[in-house]
Amino acid sequence: MLELRHVSKTFNKGTPSAKQALNDLSLHLNAGDFVSIIGSNGAGKSTVFNAIGGSFLVDAGRIFLDGQDVTFLPEHKRAGSIGRLFQDPLRGTAPNMTIEENLALVYLRANKSRSIFGITNKERDFFREKLATLNLGLEDRLKSKVGLLSGGQRQALTLLMATMITPKVLLLDEHTAALDPATADKVLELTRRIVADGHITTMMITHNIGSALALGNRTIMMNEGQIILDVSGEERARLTVPELLELFREKSHTALDDDRILLRAD
C-alpha cells in the first residue's frame, strides 16, 4: 500500500547546520497494516511523515502510494489519499467555522456534486450519524464553532474528518500527546476502532511504549534517520516494554532518549 524506497533527506544542505534527517530509509506497508513508531527525539519520525505527506521533496529515493509514484506530487494533491493528525489539536480544524462546516469541507473531496445552497439536510444527517460514533455528544452541536471545543473533542473531530473519506494511509503524529491521560485513552480507543472498522493502513508515532506495543500489528524503531528495529507477528506479541527498551539499546548503542517517553505497560 505504501512503500518508501531508499529515501534520504538532509535539511539545510551545504550549510554548517546541515542535518541528515532520513538516511537511505526503506519501508513497505501492506494494506491494513497498523504500524506504531517509536524513537529518540530527532530520530526522523515526523520527517518520515512529512516526506510521505509531501511537505517537502526528498533528496533521494522514491515514494509509492497504492502503486502510484507520488515522489514529486505536490502536498495538496496527495492529501486526498492521506489522513494526517498532529500533536496540536488546533492544526486539524478551522476554529471559526462550525462543526458541520468543518465536516462539509472534507466531505467535499469525495462529493463534488454538492448543492450550491450550503449543507443539505441529508448531509447533516450523515454528519450527525458520524459524530454520534464519537460518543462525545457532538452530534447535537453541529452549529457550534469548533474553537469552542476542548482539545480532546477537537482531536476526535479531526480524526473523524481525516477518516470520513477512507484514506489510503492514516498518519498519526503523537496525536494524543497534548491530551490529558483520560482523554488520550479515549482518543486512542477511538483510533483503534475507526482504524479497525475501515481497515485503514495506519502509521502512529507515539512516545507511549505501552500503546506502541498494544496497538496495531507492527512496531518500528527509528534512530538517526534509519529504521533500526521492525517487529511484528509472534515476536512482537511476546515483547514486553523493558525488552523493547533493551532491544533499542542494543541496536543503537544508546539508551532511548525521548523527553516525553512514557513507560506505562498498559
Size of the site for ligand ATP (CB under 6 A): 12
Q: Does 186 bind ligand ATP (CB under 6 A)?
A: no
Q: How far is the CB of 27 from other proteins (least distance, A)?
A: 22
- The number of angstroms, rounded, from the C-alpha of 174 to the middle of its chain's C-alpha atoms is 8
DSSP single-letter state for residue 247: H
Q: How far is the CB of 21 from ligand ATP (least distance, A)?
A: 3
Residue 211: CA atoms inside 13 Å, Cβ hemisphere, count? 21
**Alpha-carbon gap, residue 223 to 63, rounded angstroms:** 20
Q: How far is the CB of 88 from Mg ion (least distance, A)?
A: 11
3-class SS letters over 178-205: CCCHHHHHHHHHHHHHHHHHHCCCEEEE
Please, are residues 229 and 251 in contact by the beta-carbon 8 Å criterion? yes
Footprint (CB under 6 A) of ligand ATP, residues 3-42: 11-12, 19, 21, 39, 41-42
With CB under 5 A as the contact rule, which of the stretches 43-51, 60-68, 184-192, 206-214 interacts with Mg ion? 43-51
Footprint (CB under 6 A) of ligand ATP, residues 46-65: 46-47
Distance from the first to the final alpha carbon of the chain: 30
Element (H, E) at 236: helix 233-238
Q: Which of 7, 25, 43, 104 binds ligand ATP (CB under 6 A)?
A: 43
Q: Does 208 bind Mg ion (CB under 5 A)?
A: no
Q: Could you say which of Mg ion, ligand ATP, other proteins, none residue 21 binds, taking C-beta under 5 to 8 angstroms by partner kind?
A: ligand ATP
Size of the site for Mg ion (CB under 5 A): 1
Instruction: Please name the residues in contact with 20: beta carbons below 8 A apart, sequence gap of 6 or more.
Output: 8, 9, 10, 224, 225
Q: Could you say which of ligand ATP, Mg ion, other proteins, none residue 80 binds, taking C-beta under 5 to 8 angstroms by partner kind?
A: other proteins
Backbone conformation region of residue 216, classed left if phi is above 0, alpha if psi is from -120 to 50, else beta:
left
Whose Cβ is closer to Mg ion: residue 102's or residue 223's? 223
Q: Could you say which of other proteins, ligand ATP, Mg ion, none residue 79 binds, taking C-beta under 5 to 8 angstroms by partner kind?
A: other proteins
Residues that bind other proteins (CB under 8 A): 74-80, 82, 84, 90-97, 101-102, 104-106, 108-109, 112, 114, 116-119, 162
Q: Report the length, in residues, of the chain.
A: 266
Please, are residues 134 and 191 in contact by the beta-carbon 8 Å criterion? no
Task: Point out which residues bind ligand ATP (CB under 6 A).
Answer: 11-12, 19, 21, 39, 41-47
